[in-house]
Amino acid sequence: MTFREKIEKLRKGASEAQSASKIIDKLKALKDSNSPDTSYRWIWELIQNAKDVVNSSSLVDIEIKFSEANKTIEFCHNGRLFTTENIVFLIEQVSSKERSLTAENKKKSTGKFGTGFLTTHLLSEKVQIHGYLHDDGEKPRSFQTLLDRTGQDKASIMRAISNSCDMLDNGTECDVDETQMNTKFIYELDEIGIRTAISGLKNLLVSIPYVFAFVQELNSITVNADNFQRIIKRGRKVSVELESAIVTHVHVSTTKNGETTIADRYVFML
């Protein structure tokens, strides 16, 4: 090993150890602060991340699948595909948004795709991610990886980070339809995770019209939960005489135990 190679190896080890320490510290802080008032934070983090990666339509569709019986929840969207940098930073919990942001991007980006994503571990310490990698000038490539944050020490977390990165090598090049739900986060839930999932979904469904009013990038959200489905779509533009007023129209379709009801909701803001 040359002197330069020795330095690079030590630098890499120090970086991985720093990432592992940050993950352990932040997860502990999350668990210590978790309560009924904060257990819904995961849903807003995932929505913010989806909102930040709108596709060529400048909008994004979201689908959430929750099964209490199977103890799983999936969060899917049809936003822009991951870049290799995105997924590596996510695995290591490093936020590219924190590293380099123009003033314009700071206004547009509300989520922290690296460190903010840790709040979703309130659902589960293990997250499967399915998606596609697309770097400039290259063809999209499928991938699946697992974020495993169950380790209790730096060495365990560092091994898990390395394993997550190794899994990225198993994908294949392919064509991608951007209208499809190409990005999926899948959480396996224990009893606490189930309660956390329900808390987040209830919080979301109550505030849906306001979510669409404040997050203009949302086109639709579909929530499937066992015998329940709610589809919320952005409706027609509503004109009002007040120049400073904005009216958001959402179309809500709810199916429960085979029966469907349809309603329109409006949010008026000055």
Range of the domain at 209: 3-218
pLDDT in tens, 135-175: 999 999 999 999 999 999 999 999 999 999 999 988 899 99
242 belongs to a structural domain: no
> What b/e readout covers 143-182, taking b as 16+ CB neighbours within 10 angstroms?
bebebbbebeebeebbebbeebeeebeebeeeeeeeeebb
Strands in the chain per DSSP E: 60-67, 72-77, 126-133, 141-148, 183-188, 218-225, 228-234, 246-256, 259-269
Interval 73-132: pLDDT, tens: 999 999 999 999 899 889 988 765 544 444 444 444 434 445 578 889 999 999 999 999
Q: Is there a domain that residue 269 lies in?
A: no
Overall domain count for the chain: 1
Q: Is residue 235 part of a domain?
A: no
- Beta-carbon neighbour count of residue 26 at 10 Å? 17
Alpha-carbon distance of 40 to 232, in angstroms, equals: 19
In a domain, 180, yes or no: yes
pLDDT band at 238 (very low <50, low <70, confident <90, very high): confident
Given a cut of 90, whether residue 16 has pLDDT beyond it is: no
CATH code: domain of residue 212: 3.30.565
Q: Is residue 199 part of a domain?
A: yes
